[in-house]
Structure 1
Amino acid sequence: MNEFLKNKSILITGGTGSFGKKFVETLVSRYPEVKRIVIYSRDELKQYEMSQYLNKSHHAGLRYFIGDVRDAERLKRACEDVDIIIHAAALKQVPTAEYNPMECIKTNVMGAENVINAALDCGVENVVALSTDKAAAPINLYGATKLCSDKLFVSANNVKGSRDISFSVVRYGNVMGSRGSVIPFFLGKRSEGVLPVTHDQMTRFNISLEEGVELVLFALQNSLGGEIFVPKLPSYNIMDLAEAIGPECEKKITGIRPGEKLHEDMITESDALNTLELEKYFIIHPTTNKWNSIREELLNSGKARAVAHNFSYNSGKNDTFLAVDEIRSLIKRHLDPAFNA
């Protein structure tokens, strides 16, 4: 068994969200020798419900902290004796962020700064922050706040001084089945016979919760500090998704919502000069003296290769698209074993 998390104390902000629950489930099943798992979130009901089904794991180190990443003092208290922070807390609904901009900024930007300060003050060893494809070339407030958050975590490596701590970021696309996302929305709507589609040419990257967890674990094991890890993912067209879920349903075009893109980016052409390609992932690295030497070592060792100077990673120009039958298979495997369409 891989023991890189043995005797570690791990805190997950937004720990009762879709990712947080899957990540904790993975920890208790795969890494039983984790010393302590702190689930930090605002919702007492979700914590209670999570504790009920996780109690079956009999993991002695599960802890539940009510708290908000906006509350720096409470967050710092929760981070005492913590070795690793996974920062998953965010306000992520695009229309809600457009309508309530300062609330989104307080959580996604100021909350990120609070996580960084708590990690620096409490002797944390490793911090991995979750980002989104909407942070690349953002056109909505949510994406802009996550870009700010990414920049804060990357630059935190410049102010750590002599502390033995690494800050890194993972950036990925739409998560299958996450709350408020399009797949559960369509699944809920198909009984009505009409699926609202914003634009028939819209595309998105696709990742399962399990794949998101694996990416974070990869970052924990391999981060040197300052990287943005980007997985290689398939895309889907929104009409193919609608067909996969509701082949008999009417597909009603409703128009793109405020702040919504037709296609998503995860790596822009401007990032190409600082991007390395691995087997399953890309790494966007900062331009620093430390990373200049690391880049050369990775290239010379054959562990990574440089991408083309005009490279970009866009859901509409992706090399891999999911077919309708593949989408149905993924929904059945990851969301609903009884699903049929």
Structure 2
Amino acid sequence: MRFKGGVLAALAATAMTFGTSAVQAKELFLYNWANYFPPDLIEKFESETGIDVTLDVYDSNETMLAKLQAGAAGYDIVFPSGYMVDVMREEDLAMKIDTAELPNFKNVQSPHDSPSYDPSREYSAPYMWGTTGLAYDTAKAPELDETWEEYFKPRDELKGKIAALNDQVEMYNAAARYLGIDVCTEDPAQAQKILDLLMAQKPHLALYSSTGTIDRMVAGEVVMHHMWNGAAHRAKEQRESITYIYPKEGLAFWSDNMVVPKDAPNPENAKTFINWMMDPQNAAVATNYTGYMNAIAGSGEYLDESLKSDPAVNMPKEYADRLRPSKECSTAARELRDKVWTTLKK
């Protein structure tokens, strides 16, 4: 496995000079979230298939999308969240790969076999799924209520000790849910209320960052973090006093997927990888590493016991009605969200 940076132009030039078939025999280029794929699983894939894998990373769906929109043509697989699969399809950035026809698709469990953003699984395959809530250190903070208010209107002792995700959708949606506003609102007045809440919170934050969340909590650099549940689990493994909150106003229930970009240089290798990842043992290795659940039947017997005992991963049934599945918003709603985020980050 190799990590790359700034080599897309070279990859595109190679594809144009030698043609797709010359590259496709041995190469696969992944573009994934940071710290979201086990290195030993890549090594296993390379050993079993003879295909060399190069991994590049991003910190948000929007970063990945912007790169593809700018013409990046060197990636074979990207890992967008559900709503971003919709965007990629709308903008003709995703290749039709007919995932449901791959041999291991039979292992995909419902409802992941037919999600709203790709009901026939023509353009995507499931990777990991989870939630986005709040993690805090019980050794450094009083017991907190299960509400977004602890985050957006923090207690005095927590001010300056809270970290936010540098993620437009997660931050905007969390604020909207706390305020009781539709995350896909097209009303400028409602978007302004979301902006006002985020602006009022901003002085109390230590930083916005979607990378290093685990290390930050483990080191005690912050007491509370807006956090994905798998990251919270991995932090708890190193610092037992960390706990995960399911806010009563609702929290994101998301799924990340494997998608082949329209101009991928090695699409057949990509399909080989996707089918390989729908094998229960391989999916379980990814879950054990990331701390997030997969959608593959039969993987449970290969999971670490720590995942089964952590409420951040194995969610208590009483929280099921708090989950809010991701949905793709209209262009007008997305434009409002973009304006809020741009203003917030100035």
TM-score, reference length from structure 2: 0.27
TM-score, reference length from structure 1: 0.27
